Amino acid sequence: MYNCRMTTQAEIYKTEGDKYEALIAREDYQGNILKTLREITPLENRLVLDLGAGTGRLACMLAPHVTHVRAFDMSEEMLRVCKQKLVASGLTNWQVDIADHRKLPVADQSADLVVSGWSVSYLAVWNPDTWREEMQVWLAEMKRVLKPGSFIVLFESLGTGNESPIKLVHLKNFYPWLDEVGFQHKWIRTDYKFESLAEAEELSRFFFGDELGSKVVQNNWTILPECTGVWWLSI
């Protein structure tokens, strides 16, 4: 099972921004994330909050299309890279801040869209005894910061190295909770396209672990299949 190395990934988020970005830059080479967001809600004239922004995967994708994007993460290292990318874009309609998902430095009912990729689920994973309470606090915060009728859109793994979706064991609480509180969902492919087999192996092994790194080599994958769930809720 992949995407399960939580302790190691937590360390990566604190210290390995550039190498993490090297991996993420290869993801979703077919552009399915932006296409799916547009199917859920218009992006133009929106003030967007990106939670757990990391190195700016979603924030940088959205900045050219929205009025303003605010990128939040707990990791200063991730946001260092995110800020570098946004500066390099030449755009000025963005802000980057350290913040917890459950307590955002955002005015009441001021945002039009919340997006979060591969991040909100950590509230459940890293708080096994209080995960339900943590998720409810987070949802209440979303209702506070979003204008009525606005959307939350979450992206989360349904298997890296898989051609069709699977439910990951470490997210066993997270998936059903989303259904309980009314999220709709679908799944998309967000395959990685690497420049070489050596790069595919190195970056897959770096983040996902040796099992997936070996599978990449065995299958001669320069395109690494990945299934991603998309969940959305109107507030």
* pLDDT of the residue at 8: 76
Alpha carbons 208 and 201: distance in angstroms, whole number: 10
- Looking only at Cα atoms, what is the longest distance across the chain? 51
Calculated CA dihedral for residues 30, 172, 115, 25, nearest 10 degrees: -40
pTM for this entry: 0.94
In which element (H, E) is residue 114 found? strand 111-117
Where do the domains of the chain lie, and which CATH numbers do they carry? 6-160+167-193+223-234 (3.40.50.150)
212: tokens are 């997936």
Which DSSP symbol is given to 74?
S
* pLDDT of the residue at 9: 82
pLDDT tens digit at each of 235 positions of the chain: 344 444 478 889 999 999 999 999 999 999 999 999 999 999 999 999 999 999 999 999 999 999 999 999 999 999 999 999 999 999 999 999 999 999 999 999 999 999 999 999 999 999 999 999 999 999 999 999 999 999 999 999 999 999 999 999 999 999 999 999 999 999 999 999 999 999 999 999 999 999 999 999 999 999 999 999 999 999 9
Angle at 175 between CA 154 and CA 103, to 5 degrees: 50
Which DSSP symbol is given to 140?
H
* pLDDT of the residue at 138: 98
* pLDDT of the residue at 4: 43
